[in-house]
Amino acid sequence: MHEASIALSLIEVAREVVRENGGGRVTALTVRIGQWSSVVPEALQAAFPASAQGTPLEGARLSIVRVAGVGQCPQHGPVTLELTRGLRCPLCDAPTPTLLAGDELELDELELAPFVPASELFRHMPKFTEEEFAAREAVMAESREIAQEREFRFDSSEDDLEEENP
Ligand SMILES: [Zn+2]
């Protein structure tokens, strides 16, 4: 999937920024996507969580800002393009093949969580009683099982497809 590789390269850029800022975890990021770029925001949004797993961006909130296209009309100069009209001036219909804006894909903002040493985190963790701890473990084990089962179902349905359409 096109958007998955875009998510990975955005994450790579973000990790570089995080490194330059002394490390830590990213809690939110904003990406600007031009209306005329080939990126489908919904697909990027969907691909992001899995791509971010195991990186400092895991669990980060991804906001996408859509950037309208701006073309250069020979008569009217820079004009905001309308998606339904294509690359044409909305005022005089002249072709505006050059985009001044609207084909970008860029990292705009990055929100870093302040670095907290693990010892501090443990200090602020609620103290569980033994029963509470056991109950919590049981819930986590159950959700792991459900996740594994889902994965298994996904795999087996793929196999079925291959068998049906050799
Ligand atoms: Zn025009």
pTM of the full structure: 0.63
In angstroms, what is the span from residue 82 Cα to ligand 1's centroid? 13
In angstroms, what is the span from residue 66 Cα to ligand 1's centroid? 23
In angstroms, what is the span from residue 103 Cα to ligand 1's centroid? 20
CA distance 23 to 12: 13
14-73 pLDDT, tens digit each: 999 888 888 889 999 999 999 999 899 999 999 999 999 999 999 999 999 999 999 999
State which amino acid sits at residue 99: L
Nearest to 107, CA basis, from 44, 22, 160, 49: 44
155-166 pLDDT, tens digit each: 544 444 444 444
Is 92 labeled as ligand-binding? yes
